[in-house]
Amino acid sequence: MTKLIKGTTRRGALKTLAGGAAGAASLPLWARFAEAQTSEPIKVGFQVHRTGIGAAYGRWYDRTTQAAAKLINENGGINGRMIEIVAEDDGTDPKRGAEVVEKFANQHGCDVGFGTLFSHVVIGSAPRAGELKLPYFVVSEGHHVASGMLNRYTLQPGITDVKSQVQAMAPYVSENLGKKVTMVFPDFAFGHDHRDFFTAAIEEQGGEVLEHIAIPPSETSFTKYFPKIPRETEVLYHVMVGPAVLTFVKELGEFFGPSRPEVFGFIDSLEAVDMASPGLEYLDGTYFWEGNPRHAQEDQTEFDKFFREKVGVDERGASVSDASDVSTYAHMFGCWETLHILKAGMEAADYKGPDDRPALIEAVEAMTDMPESNEHPQGAKRFNGKTHQVFGHQYISRVEDGFLKRVHSTSIEDTLYPDEVDYTTQSF
């Protein structure tokens, strides 16, 4: 059943979005602040990976989320109400994730759920969010939202999905690095996504994958797999993750020496690892996808500068208080951007309380282009209301003396693919 509420049409929502933002901005700061302090806060249930396999990411997702919430509150909150982040640890555990979503809805009186990263936790939690009619804003970069396997209450407006990321790499790889590719990937869902999406994308560019080398997830030595790499390989595409990544790089260097093919990887492998670490010299001259350039570039935008300053991250993507504490820079902007979208959506829907949840979802579904700004420091975005997935620029960086130098930015169009679902046809 669709409830008709003021501002639930796309056009209406957009109008409100523009008007609300302008209206809020026209109030003097003290007035917005005063109202914010007297109203009930908007409770954002933050499903954070505090423990379990995702804890390293969880720490930075938390830091970014807290920084964004602080900023929003300093600027008067949402519709004059403060944001309160209610963080619950999901243990990076899908079953526990569903329980946490339940606590948000039934125990803590949260207006929305937010912030989940690991795909299996999203997939485990989203059905419960749908049943409880709790808007669930994930920051996972999985393709599960856009693939249609979830529900109308689950949205991913602040981070792009792996399918668009991977396919957007193919034009640059085939034009600049080579057309004959060998892929090395871990043999489970994460690696299979890369295998499937990239193979299709490179073939569309007239290239081909010579060999798919699937590595068992528990493997810790890789030398025996390298002879499978065909001699005519022009590009080696790798997406290894887990504790053995550094060993992988080391053994790759031992196997190939200086005469190697071009090497292209995803920064996920080395997220939170300092590129200047001894042992990683071999990666000099290789290429990485980056969701958001970790190292501040020469043409750094004021928005990126602002984002780093607020989160407390230096120009090398490390904590301002400890240069060896490298952030998960390629992903964590997603929390920042999602919270700002939540604010825009709530203001557009004139969100008052849980009854307005469908209106909030419709308001976000109505969003399209979002310009690069302090709210979107990673770059401009385009939201697809039907698939509940955002699309945005992707970056390719080349390692130069331990510095990740951006050499290519994809267009948003490079990242688009045909819709696989239309969630707006589902009732609330």
Partner 1 sequence: MNHRRARLGQVTGCLRRGYLGPEEAGKHLRFFSVKISISALASLAVVAGVALSAGPALAHASEQGFVLLLPTDVYIAAGGASVGLTVVLLALLPPGAAEAVFRTVRLWPASAAFRHVTSCLAAVLLAFLVWRGFTGSRDPSVNPMPLFVWTVWWIGLVTLQGLVGHHWRWTNPWTGPAAVLARLTGARAPWRYPRWLGHWPAVVIFLAFAGFLLADPAPSDPARLAAYAGAYWYVALLGLVLFGPAWMVRAEGITVLMRIYARMAVLGRDRGRVAAGLPGWQVIRLKAPPLALAVFTLVLLGTGSFDGLNETFWWMGVLGVNPLEFPGRSAVIVQTLAGLVACNLGLIGAFAGCLWLGERLAGTQRPLKQAFCLFAPSILPIALAYHVAHYLTALLVDGQYVLKALNDPLGNGASLLGLAEFYVTTGFFNTPGTVKLIWLTQAGVVVAGHVIAILLAHALALKDTPGTRRAVLGQAPLAAFMVAYTVFGLWLLASPRGL
Q: Binding residues for partner 1, per CB under 8 A?
A: 48, 50-53, 55-56, 59, 62-63, 86-89, 91-97, 103, 108, 120-121, 186, 188-190, 217-218, 220-221, 241-247, 250-251, 254, 272-274, 277-279, 312, 318-326
Between CA 233 and CA 210 the distance in angstroms is 7
Task: List 266's β-bridge partners, or say none.
Answer: 289
Between 47 and 384, whose beta carbon lies closer to partner 1?
47
CB of 356 to partner 1, least distance (A): 24
Element (H, E) at 370: strand 369-370
Between 270 and 367, whose beta carbon lies closer to partner 1?
270
CA distances from 57 to 270, 279, 378, 404 (A): 12, 23, 18, 20
- List, in order, residues 6 or more apart from 318 with CB less than 8 Å away: 274, 324, 325, 326, 327
Between 86 and 173, whose beta carbon lies closer to partner 1?
86
CB of 251 to partner 1, least distance (A): 7
CB of 252 to partner 1, least distance (A): 11
Between 243 and 418, whose beta carbon lies closer to partner 1?
243
Contact at 8 Å (CB) between 257 and 206?
Answer: no
Between 85 and 209, whose beta carbon lies closer to partner 1?
85
Report the DSSP pairing between strands 395-400 and 403-409: antiparallel
Contact at 8 Å (CB) between 121 and 142?
Answer: no
Contact at 8 Å (CB) between 128 and 75?
Answer: no
Between 111 and 365, whose beta carbon lies closer to partner 1?
111
CB of 204 to partner 1, least distance (A): 29
Between 325 and 420, whose beta carbon lies closer to partner 1?
325
Between 20 and 186, whose beta carbon lies closer to partner 1?
186
CB of 38 to partner 1, least distance (A): 18
- List, in order, residues 6 or more apart from 391 with CB less than 8 Å away: 160, 164, 381, 382, 383, 384, 412, 415, 416
CB of 187 to partner 1, least distance (A): 9
CB of 270 to partner 1, least distance (A): 8
CB of 58 to partner 1, least distance (A): 9
Contact at 8 Å (CB) between 379 and 112?
Answer: no
Contact at 8 Å (CB) between 222 and 248?
Answer: yes
CB of 211 to partner 1, least distance (A): 22
CB of 362 to partner 1, least distance (A): 29
**Nearest by Cα to 136 from 71, 190, 90, 80:** 90
Helices (H) and strands (E) in the chain, counts: 11, 17
Give the DSSP letter of residue 221.
-
Contact at 8 Å (CB) between 303 and 261?
Answer: no
Instruction: Provide the token pair at 146.
Output: 């856009």
Between 234 and 274, whose beta carbon lies closer to partner 1?
274
Task: List 396's β-bridge partners, or say none.
Answer: 289, 408
Instruction: Provide the token pair at 115.
Output: 């912030």
Give the DSSP letter of residue 81.
B
- List, in order, residues 6 or more apart from 299 with CB less than 8 Å away: none
Between 279 and 353, whose beta carbon lies closer to partner 1?
279
Between 202 and 241, whose beta carbon lies closer to partner 1?
241
User: Which is it for the CA torsion 129, 135, 141, 143, positive or negative?
Assistant: positive
